[in-house]
Amino acid sequence: MNKKLFIAGEWLAAESGRKMEIVSLVNGKPYGTVDLGGQADARKAVEAAQAAAKAWGKSSPSEREAILLRAADIIFRRRDDIVDILQHEAGSTFGKAMFEVGFFENIVRGAAGECRRISGTTYASDIPGVFSYSIRRPLGVVVGISPFNFPILLGGKKLAFSLAAGNAIILKPSEVTPLSGLLLAEIFHEAGVPAGVLSVIPGEGTELGDALIGHPAVKMVSFTGSTRVGKQIAETCAANLKKITLELGGKNPFIVLKDADLDHAIQAAAFSAFIHQGQVCMAGSRIIVEKELYDEFCDSFTAKASTLKVGSLEGKDTVIGPLIRRSQCDMIGDLIEDAISQGARLMTGGKWDGHVFEPTVIADVTAKMKIFHEECFGPVAVIVKAEDANHALDLANDTPYGLSSAIFTNDLKLANFFTENIEAGMVHVNGPSIRDEAIIPFGGVKNSGMGKEGGRYSIEEMTELKWITVQTDRGHFPF
């Protein structure tokens, strides 16, 4: 598979002539080549978006809805192609890839539903004879920057809601998952998105970032990725007064109180810690268990982790496949070593072969250890003992992050205490920390980001509210 850049409805070679090769994470063989975009390509895409944004911003809701519904049908029809790319390029297991494609189709249908609901408000005016109201207008040109882990879903979410809001968008997919980004271009192009309204430019963030974000025509950046890069992008946006949403990293607490349904908690904790090899922003990577259940939880959870099928992505029942980069394994290995040297217990796992890291459980972790605070982005669950519910809350909030969280208890009063006091953008009672839906306000607090994605919240972020008054009487003026 050889792919060029998708700019203004055409497949164009990169101006620099540079290309990159994608090696399959399924079989280690060459999977495809991609043109690598540079600053000149970025400028071309922004100029095309600027020219197309005006007419697109005036398109009717039903026109945009029809395009998005066609895109959803194409996603369903091409689900095998999408799954193939997600496996080879992003190292997805079959189950994760199927989940991603199904969920993405659902998100696009959700975005289609928003097109007809974009609305303002009327206000009771104190001024006699004045009709006061607001309308929402598209921003114009939006830049979407997406990460590698759910490249179809997270890149596609930005496209779908931006298009629903009436904006033109340029997507810069992760440099390690460019083919997924270009497949999104194929799908939305076939669905009928007009030329210029959508461009997809693979390339290095450091090279393309400033050219895209710094361009005066770009009004908003919708970023999903690490906190480190998010902060850099926020600085550039602040200097140019651009709107921004940041969906960043997490070290999410998964709390199990003494009255919890243990079997259910273990199943949800294993799903939250290990799906996609733990490479999920919402991963329940910090499991905090009240002391009365602690030993039983550690033993049963370790037993569950030890049964997960590890290895080749060719098997449809593989749960733990390869990490995106081999270097990630060394980084995780260092975090585990640091924890063990300070008294943590390695319950299972801890070793790796090539890109594949064994599902790993570490008990007796404390807040002194780096692994308590740092995102591993690998199949590593750490278990921390809490003296009581208050201590569990203190441990949960002892983090610079605040993305998702889960609390397992059957005590309504305690569930309410946690949902109110956990410092996180999302809290799930008796459910996994990994959850998303088409119409909910997805997003974090603290170092996990700002702004929301999903449903009407995306529309609100991606439009401007304009206040309008219409005066029907002659006004009174002081001079």
- Residues with active-site annotation: 247, 281
The C-alpha atoms of residue 349 and residue 360 are separated, in whole angstroms, by 4
Is 148 among the residues that bind ligand NAD (CB under 6 A)?
yes
Closest distance to ligand NAD from the beta carbon of 130 (Å): 42
Residue with tokens 């005006």: 54
Residue from 35, 84, 175, 290 touching ligand NAD (CB under 6 A): that is: 175
Q: Taking CB under 6 A as the criterion, which residues in 40-69 touch ligand NAD?
A: none
> Cβ of residue 401: shortest distance to ligand NAD, in angstroms?
9
What is the spatial distance between Cα 295 and Cα 309, in angstroms, rounded to a whole number?
A: 24
How far apart are CB 443 and ligand NAD at their closest, in Å? 7
Q: Which is nearer to ligand NAD, 166 or 250 (CB)?
A: 250
Provide, rounded to whole angstroms, the least separation between the CB of residue 42 and ligand NAD: 11
Residue 128: CB minimum distance to ligand NAD, A: 48
Q: Comparing C-alpha atoms, which of 54, 6, 64 is closest to residue 459?
A: 64
- Compute the distance between CA of residue 57 and CA of residue 71 in angstroms, rounded to an integer: 19
* Single residue of 91, 110, 178, 249 touching ligand NAD by CB under 6 A: 249
Residue 453 is classified by DSSP as B
Residues in contact with ligand NAD, shown as a per-residue x/- string from 204 to 233 under the rule CB under 6 A? -xx--x--------------xxx--x--xx
For the chain, helix, strand, coil in percent to 5 are 40, 20, 35
Among 183, 336, 376, 403, binds ligand NAD (CB under 6 A): 403
Backbone angles phi, psi at 12, to 5 degrees: -120, 145
- Among positions 36, 53, 184, 248, the unique one binding ligand NAD when judged by CB under 6 A: 248
DSSP state string for 48-73: HHHHHHHHHHTS-HHHHHHHHHHHHH
Residue 167 sits in the site that holds ligand NAD (CB under 6 A): no
Residue 234, SS3 per DSSP: helix
- Dihedrals phi, psi of 208, to nearest 5 degrees: -85, -25
240 binds ligand NAD (CB under 6 A): no
> DSSP letter string over 320-346?
B---S-HHHHHHHHHHHHHHHHTT-EE
- Maximum separation of any 2 CA atoms in the chain, in Å: 82
Q: Could you tell me the smallest distance in angstroms from the CB atom of residue 230 to ligand NAD?
A: 7
Q: Rounded CA gap, 356 and 423, in Å?
A: 33
What is the footprint of ligand NAD within residues 345-384 (CB under 6 A)? 375, 377
Residues in region 433-452 near ligand NAD by CB under 6 A: 444, 449
DSSP track, 392-428: HHHHHH-SS--S--EEE-S-HHHHHHHHHH--SS--E
Which of 212/257 has CB closer to ligand NAD?
212
Least distance in Å: CB of 331 to ligand NAD?
12
Q: x/- binding map, residues 292-331, to ligand NAD, per CB under 6 A?
A: ----------------------------------------
- Size of the residue set binding ligand NAD (CB under 6 A): 28
Taking CB under 6 A as the rule, does residue 247 contact ligand NAD? yes
In angstroms, rounded to a whole number, what is the distance separating the alpha carbons of residues 419 and 122? Answer: 34
Q: Which stretch binds ligand NAD (CB under 6 A): 45-53, 140-148, 427-435, 471-479?
A: 140-148
CB nearer to ligand NAD: give 87 or 174: 174
CA nearest to 459, candidates 111, 150, 180, 5: 111
Nearer to ligand NAD, 298 or 462 (CB): 462
Binding site for ligand NAD (CB under 6 A): 145-149, 154, 172, 174-175, 205-206, 209, 224-226, 229, 232-233, 247-250, 281, 375, 377, 403, 444, 449
